[in-house]
Amino acid sequence: MMEILSIIGYIFLSVGAVFLLLGGLGIFRMPDYYTRVQAGTKASTLGAMSTIIGVAFLQPDWAVKLLVILVFIAFTNPLSSHVLARATYKMGQKPLSKENIDAYEEVDHSTSRKPVTNKTTK
Amino acid sequence: MIWTLILLSLMAVIMIVATIVAIRQKDLLIAVFATAAISLGLSVFYFLLQAPDVALTEAAIGVALTTVIFLITIRNTKRYEKVNKAGQCKE
Amino acid sequence: MKKYVAVVLLLFFGYYLLLSFLQLDFGRADERMAVSKDYLHESVATNKVANVITSIVVNFRGFDTLGEVTVLFLASTALASILYRRNKPGVKVPKERILTSASHLLHIGAKVLFPISIVLGAYIFIHGHLTPGGGFQGGAVIATGVLLMILSYRKFHVNHNIVSWVESIAGIAFVAIGFTGLIFGTSFLENVFPVGTLNALMSGGAIPLIYIAVGFKVGAELIGLLDNILLNNKELKQ
């Protein structure tokens, strides 16, 4: 029984390590600030959560505490990256896209940045 | 034991690099975040050396509070250090 | 001539410094450090405190902790006195901060995270004698929770009167516990309260009480400091 649990735990740990590595690679390779943020957030959130689940399988005594940490990570990690991306948008950084689409501008009218002229759809 | 030693030396290298960045950087915002990185490494260091009390203090004060106070100071003053041609600070 | 005299003098002092350094024993346990054994034994046997560090910080070295808290109080007061602005009769101080308004998501997130961080800080300083942590750590965690609220809401203000009252009462409680030791025992900060059983929440006598007082004091000081710094200081810039 314990061996099966530990094997499942190691599988989760390896998945977590792979996703953390992919997140780091994404931050390194992505062309734009916003794509970097989403790579870092999604991959590292999944990697950290998977690692914690793996630890919970390896050490069943800590399961409740690890669950609390899991909820905390699931709550704070997307929130912090949302705040970072929004602050960058407010500073005037344009998203890198070929068609110059900026969907957030229609939602958020309080930005201080200049309106983006939509060249390609003309 | 050997893994702890490897992790400690890795943290030490990161902290030394962050310290050099914090001293040399003319953009004060980056220097502040390098200082926060030093605090984070120091916190891990304390935890690995079995002093979780000090690690808690360092994580709460060094990473969060000090960084925010520095950021507010930069916001109220100016972001870049002024440099003359010889590479020395003017003020 | 002067150089040779200086070299001879340096060699002379260097020799004696070297002698004193050679007497230090590196890498060996010193027999004279018996006091550490005493602390390790006494804090579990007499004080019934599971976390030995707390026992040393609050009980055996309690006077030093009082000094630390006083230093923090003085630093906070000095900063407040620098940043304090007297309200001019004509000028109305704006109630909003200079920070830009945060998004709806951050408002809700901060509302959920604020009680969690307060509870975590309270847990850390109430369990200071059982688990790692204590008054300083718990106070700092509470201050970070308040910092999150201050950064998220433009109109979130801390009542300075309440903060200064909490701070004063906590400081008075610390000194009062110390004087209890002086009155009922033999020395300042002596542990005269009944110690319970080891590893229970109600154990350690005065130690958890002192750490709770320290937690309130540090938290109130850091919150007051943050609120002072983050106030709308457009006038200061001019």
Domain extent for C122: 43-79+99-231
**In percent, how much of chain B has pLDDT > 70?**
90
Total number of residues shown for chain B: 91
More confident residue, C109 or A107: C109
Pick A79's closest partner by Cβ from C100, C106, C116: C106
Query: B touches A (3+ CB pairs < 8 Å)?
Result: no
- What ipTM did this prediction achieve? 0.79
Q: Contacts of residue B64 in chain C, CB cutoff 8 Å?
A: 140, 144, 147
Residue C234 confidence (pLDDT) above 70 = no
**Side-chain-facing half-sphere of C166: CA atoms under 13 Å:** 20
Cβ contact C237–B76 (<8 Å): yes
Q: Which residues in chain C have their CB less than 8 angstroms from residue A75's CB?
A: 109, 112-113
Which tens digit of pLDDT belongs to each residue from A10-21? Answer: 999 999 999 999
How confident is the model over C66-93, as a mean pLDDT? 78
Q: How confident is the model at residue A122 (pLDDT cuts 50, 70, 90)?
A: very low
Touching A (3+ Cβ pairs <8 A), the chains are C
- Which range is least confidently modeled, A103-107, A117-121, C105-109, C164-168? A117-121
pLDDT of residue C231: 67
- DSSP state at residue C212: H
| Total number of domains in chain C | 1
Spacing of C-alpha A114 from chain mean position: 28
CB A111 within 8 A of CB A90: yes
Q: Pick C25 or A112 by higher pLDDT.
A: C25
Give me the phi and psi of C155, to 5 degrees please: -105, 10
* Residue C122, domain member (yes or no): yes
Q: Which residue of C56, C99, C137 to mutate against B (max B Cβ within 10 Å)?
A: C137
Cβ–Cβ contact A68 with C under 8 A: no
Indicate whether C232 pLDDT > 70: no
Query: Does a structural domain hold residue C88?
Result: no
Say whether pLDDT at C138 is over 50. Answer: yes
How close C148 gets to chain B, by Cα (Å)?
10
- Angle (nearest 5°) at CA C63 between C60 and C69: 125
Q: If you search the block for the tokens 């690690």, which residue do you land on?
A: B55
Question: Using an 8 Å Cβ cutoff, are C79 and C222 in contact?
Answer: no
Determine the Cα angle at C226 with ends C220 and C231, to 5°.
125
Contact between residue C216 and residue C71 where contact means Cβ atoms under 8 Å apart = no
Q: How far is A4 from chain C (nearest CA, A)?
A: 33
Judge residue C113's burial from the number of C-beta atoms within 10 Å of its C-beta, 0-12 exposed, 13-18 middle, 19 or more buried. Answer: buried
Q: What is the pTM of this model?
A: 0.80
Chain A CB contacts of C103 below 8 Å: 82-83, 86
Say what the pLDDT of residue C189 is: 84
Do A82 and C103 make contact, defined as CB atoms within 8 angstroms?
Answer: yes
Over residues B31-50, mean pLDDT: 92
Q: Is residue C86 part of a domain?
A: no
Using pLDDT thresholds of 50, 70 and 90, give the confidence band for residue A117: very low
Nearest to B15 by CA among B58, B61, B54, B76: B58
Q: Which pLDDT tens digit goes with each residue over C91-100?
A: 555 556 666 6
